[in-house]
Chain A
Amino acid sequence: MTYLLYIAVIMNESLGEFEQIVLLAVLRLGNGAYGVSIREEILKCTGRQATPGALYTTLDRLENKSMLTSLMGEPTAQRGGRAKRYFKVTKTGTAAVERAQNAYRRLLDGLKLSGGAHA
């Protein structure tokens, strides 16, 4: 029973592919990460056109998991007097994305893919 509960906790704290992409995009953007810039960064780096719906629900989910934190900026005229919501990756988020990336690296280790062997 304890084991099942532990699995549930671990599953809740593991990251999906899109969650990793969003966290990495927010990390890359530093202090300028908000909805529009995150979508642009994802498009630039992955060629993937993230829908706003998927992006905002993922951002909220990551914030609920304490992997992201958000703060409202100043309202700007360009946005009809509406403020931007800036995101920043927390230590928990950084640790989770590192864990996920290390797992991928370990899986790739020694494989001979088209790009050559991974050390």
Chain B
Amino acid sequence: MRSSLAEWLLARFIPRSHAEAIVGDLQESVGGKSGGEFLRLILGVLCSLAWRPVGGFLLAAFGGAFVLFQLQAMFFGSAHLPAANALQQAWVSSLALLAAFLWVIALYSSIRFGLWDAMTWMSASFALPATVAVCFWWQQWMPSLAVGAVIAFLISAMFFRKGRLGVAAVAATVAIEAFVWMIGLTLSMTLLATGAKRLGFTESTVKTTLEIWLPASYLFLTWLICAACVRIHRLVLEGHGTASCFSPDEIHS
């Protein structure tokens, strides 16, 4: 029972077969010792496996929201900056959104896969010029400088296999992120509106519910994006069975 629970808990962070093997290893290590020793070992493994996904998710969720609010406030909330025309409003808002998307990936990836991971590097490399461009949007030279920096980085990334794969992984994650936000927020709002109508919520109840519903939806969607990030990283950047001659016949029982 306790080992099945341990296996289930570990399977939240790693593939089921890997969790099964770890629990089997720990059972073998513990042998006839007390259940307390098994629990101590399981908790140790769980903490080691969980801190990166959980820490990465929290950093991505709060860091992404912080960046988006700061960039939007910088653009719309500043009184001493010149008024933006419709075109500037459109490109700066889109770029701020893109920068926030990229920072979510960069922050999550930096904890989940490490600072030197190709996904962390590529997402941060594109997020930085986008952020600088939004911060100095009124400067005439800014769009060309930002585009120039992105193109230069893109070209330099093409010289390395990891660089090319990193660019592909970040592009795929941003595309999924945009899709998840668009569909997710629409669905979330529709669900809230339908529920409020059916349950006969008053205006103040809807307002209170919205204060909880929106952050909850944001966290849920960020979690989905983090899961997509892991899947894409696994598909694009992690090698499976490369340069190996490992076959089932070689296995000892």
Which of B20, B41, B240 has a CB less than 8 Å from the CB of A83?
A: B20
20 A-B pairs with C-beta separation under 8 A = A6-B160, A32-B252, A35-B25, A52-B26, A52-B41, A53-B44, A53-B46, A53-B48, A56-B48, A57-B48, A69-B241, A70-B18, A71-B246, A73-B253, A74-B251, A79-B25, A80-B23, A80-B24, A83-B24, A92-B243
Cβ contacts under 8 Å, B244 to chain A: 69, 88, 90-91
Which residues of chain A are within 8 angstroms of B118 by Cβ–Cβ distance? Answer: 8-9, 12
A101 to B88 CA separation, bound complex (whole angstroms): 56
Q: Which residue of A is nearest B14, CB measured?
A: A60
Which residues 86-102 of A have a CB within 8 angstroms of B? 86, 88, 90-92
Residue in A closest to B50 when the chains form the complex, CB atoms: A53
Query: DSSP class of B's interface residues: helix, strand, loop or mixed?
Result: helix
Assess whether B21 is in contact with A12, with CB atoms less than 8 Å apart. no
Q: Could you tell me the distance in whole angstroms from the C-beta of A105 to the nearest C-beta in chain B?
A: 24
Determine the residue in chain B with the shortest Cβ distance to A32.
B252
Which residue in chain A gives the minimum CB-CB distance to B48?
A: A53
Q: Given that A34-B21, A83-B21, A88-B244 are known contacts, is A78 also in contact with B28, CB under 8 Å in the complex? A: yes
How many residues of chain A get a CB closer than 8 Å to chain B's CBs?
A: 45
Q: Which residues of B contact A56 (CB under 8 A)?
A: 22, 45, 48-49
Minimal beta-carbon separation of A84 from chain B (angstroms): 6
Query: How far, in Å, is B246 (CB) from chain A's closest CB?
Result: 4
Q: How large is the interface on B (under 10, 10 to 19, 20 to 34, 35 or more residues)?
A: 35 or more
- B residues adjacent to A (C-beta < 8 A): 3, 14, 17-18, 20-29, 41, 44-49, 113-114, 116-118, 121, 152-153, 156-157, 159-160, 162-163, 237-244, 246, 248, 250-253
Q: Which residue of chain B has its CB nearest to the CB of A88? A: B246
Residue A51 at the chain B interface, CB threshold 8 Å: yes
**Contact between B157 and A5 (Cβ–Cβ < 8 Å)?**
yes
Residues of B within 8 A of A11 (CB): 116
Mark interface residues in A1-35 (1 if CB within 8 Å of B CB, else 0): 11001101101100000000000000000011011
Q: A107 an interface residue at 8 Å Cβ cutoff?
A: no
Complex CA gap A92/B238 in Å reads 13
User: Contacting A5 at CB < 8 Å: which of B41, B160, B251, B253?
Assistant: B160
Task: Give Cα distance in the complex from A52 to B28, angstroms.
Answer: 12
List the A residue with the shortest CB-CB distance to B42.
A52
B215 to chain A, nearest CB (A): 31
- B49 touching A57, Cβ below 8 Å: yes
- Most chain B CB inside 10 Å of its own CB: which residue of A9, A65, A86, A88: A9
